[in-house]
Structures are given as C-alpha cells and as structure tokens.
Amino acid sequence: MEILKKISETLYDGDEFAMPELVNEAINAGATAQQVLDAMMAGMAIVGDEFSRDELYIPEVLCSCHAMMEGSKVLKPLLTDTDAKSVGTVILGSVQGDMHDIGKNLVGMMLEGRGLKVIDIGIDVPAEKFVEAAIEHNADIVACSILLTTTMPETPKVVKAFVEAGIRDQVKIMIGGAPITQEFCIRMGCDAYAKDAGAAAALALTIYQNN
C-alpha cells in the first residue's frame, strides 16, 4: 500500500505535523492499526541504523520520535479499544538510566488493548520504585523496558529489590527491549521475556489467566 510507504518515509523525515493525517488516511484506506504501526517502525529502524553509523544526530532522531508519538496518538484508540473487563494490573517503566520510552508506550497500549490496567511509572525508574508501585497498586506483573546494553545491569537490581521487599514470589517480572533475550531473562531470574509489544501483552494475559 503506497500510503504505508509514505508513513515510513514521513517517520524517517521526522514530520510530526504530517503524521496524524497520514495515519488517518491509511486507516480510512483499509490498513489495520498494526500495519500502520509496522510502517512507522520500519521508518524508525532506518533512523536507528543511521543513528548507529553517526549519519543522523540526536535532534533528527528526536524529530522522528515526535512523529512516532503523533502517529501513535491516532492509533491509540484503535489499539486499546476493548470491552474486556480489567483482568489485572501491570506496573510498566523504563529502567533506571534508560530514557527510551517509545517501545514502553507501545507495550502499554497493547496491554490496555488486552484489558489490563497499566500503571506507567515512566522512564529512568530506580528498582525500588518498581517495588513501591507494585505494592501500592497491588500489581501481579512488573514490566521493565530496557533499550541499552548499559542499562541491562539494572535487571538484577529490580529482581533483588523484590526479593529484599519479601514479595518476589507474589510478582512476575517481565522484561523486554532491543538488547534483551530469553536467555538473559532466565539468567537474571526474571519470569518472562517478550520480543515486542504484542507478545508482551499476550504473555501478560497468559500470566494472569494461569494465576
């Protein structure tokens, strides 16, 4: 679909003003929310590659982020629209030292779309804050987004904080993000790993259904 190609290009160009209209146009032309999301992510993948080769700089990357956010706002009602009764609460955040939030926000939307209540505690979240939020909201799942190899070592800190609070067996810790793997998840003593936002939502629902 030509419009999806245009969405990828516009994301890459970082045109946040054009994005909402293009997303609406794509939806009206029959594209699914997931197809539009995939098109935006394809644009972001090119941004990421060029960023790593120093061909794009932070201000340009941020423009693409803003375009992604504007597009996501239009998609949000389509991704979260559900009649399902809330089945449980998930605490969601990017670990300490990590400012990346686009993937986390998508995970939040997908979780809501599966009928889960999401308490988003933001970015740069210290391990103890995940514990405090889990206790305050009586959550059974804590979902940590990790985008940097340098913030991967936050993972055992989160696990340790739950052990020290004496509630490790009451909370499932789910992790995800570009550098995370299933093997890392197991090695760190976490309970679940999801590759993308859709998988994270499906997994969270399975955890609740099996509890």
Residue ranges that bind ligand B1M, judged by CB under 6 A = 41, 44-45, 47-48, 51-52, 58, 61-62, 65, 97-104, 106-107, 143-145, 147-150, 174-179, 194, 196-197, 200
Nearer to ligand B1M, 30 or 58 (CB): 58
Nearer to ligand B1M, 83 or 179 (CB): 179
Nearer to ligand B1M, 58 or 83 (CB): 58
Residue in this structure with the two tokens 């029959």, named with its chain if needed: 30
Nearer to ligand B1M, 25 or 124 (CB): 124
User: What's the min distance (Å) between Cβ of 74 and ligand B1M?
Assistant: 15
Distance between CA atoms of residues 178 and 13, nearest Å: 23
User: What's the min distance (Å) between Cβ of 201 and ligand B1M?
Assistant: 9
Provide the Cα torsion 43, 46, 50, 52; round to 10°: 110
Looking at the chain, how many residues does it have?
211
Q: In the beta sheet, which residues pair with residue 155?
A: none
User: What's the min distance (Å) between Cβ of 13 and ligand B1M?
Assistant: 15
Nearer to ligand B1M, 31 or 125 (CB): 125
Distance between CA atoms of residues 3 and 23, nearest Å: 9
Contacts of 167 (CB under 8 A, 6+ apart): 131, 134, 135
Distance between CA atoms of residues 162 and 156, nearest Å: 10
User: What's the min distance (Å) between Cβ of 28 and ligand B1M?
Assistant: 24
User: What's the min distance (Å) between Cβ of 25 and ligand B1M?
Assistant: 21
Which helix (H) or strand (E) element contains residue 89? strand 89-94
Distance between CA atoms of residues 112 and 76, nearest Å: 10
